Each structure stands twice: as C-alpha cells, then as structure tokens.
Amino acid sequence: MAEQTSAQLEVAKLLVDTLNLEDVAAEEIDPQAALFGDGLGLDSIDALEIALAISQKYGVQMQADDENTRNAFANLATLTDFILARATK
C-alpha cells in the first residue's frame, strides 16, 4: 500500500465517517486503490453522500455530469487532489 499524505488521511476519515464504514480504518485505505467496484466497494449512493460531505466541509461542488468529477472518484489520491485544487475553505 502506498503511504497516505496528511490530506489523503483527512479525506479518508471523511469517507469513513460519512459512510459509516465500520470495518474500514481511514489509515488502511490505499490512496491508489479503487473507491468503487473491487476496491473499497462504494456505489453511486455513496458517491452522492461523499459529494455532499465534500461540499459541506470544503466548499467544493461536484457535478455528476462533469468528467472531472467522475475521474476524481477513481481513488483516494485523485479525490484528494480534486478537492485540494478546488477547495474554498
């Protein structure tokens, strides 16, 4: 597993808290592992919940029809980079 940055750990904690992932520790989420499918196993409802939490915490709006948003959800690293590039808070 790749080492998490402090920003990635913060976003991982947001994922765990938002989705109530009881069997996953934020520190154990591989920054390069897929968030959906065979990776963390998230689904489209989880994506909506995450997008709302990101909007509330960081002021970052995620549009479902935007290819950049879809690409951001590839893994923890890409999601964190997306947030850092757009954060207003």
Per-residue pLDDT tens for 58-82? 999 998 888 999 899 999 999 999 9
25-40 confidence digits (pLDDT tens): 999 999 999 999 888 9
Q: If you ran DSSP here, which 8-state letter would residue 4 be given?
A: P
pLDDT of 1 > 90? The answer is no
Q: Name, in order, each residue with C-beta under 8 angstroms of 65's C-beta and a sequence gap of 6 or more.
A: none
Give me the half-sphere count of Cα atoms (radius 13 Å) on the Cβ side of residue 88. 6
Q: Where are the domains of the chain?
A: 6-86
CATH H-level superfamily of 6-86: ACP-like (1.10.1200.10)
Confidence (pTM): 0.92
**What b/e string do you get for 53-86 counting C-beta neighbours within 10 Å, with b at 16 or more?**
bbeeebebebeeeeeebeebbbbbbbbbbbbeee
φ, ψ of residue 34 to 5 degrees: the values are: -60, 140
pLDDT band at 2 (very low <50, low <70, confident <90, very high): confident
Q: Which pLDDT belongs to residue 89?
A: 59
CA 46 to chain centre: 10
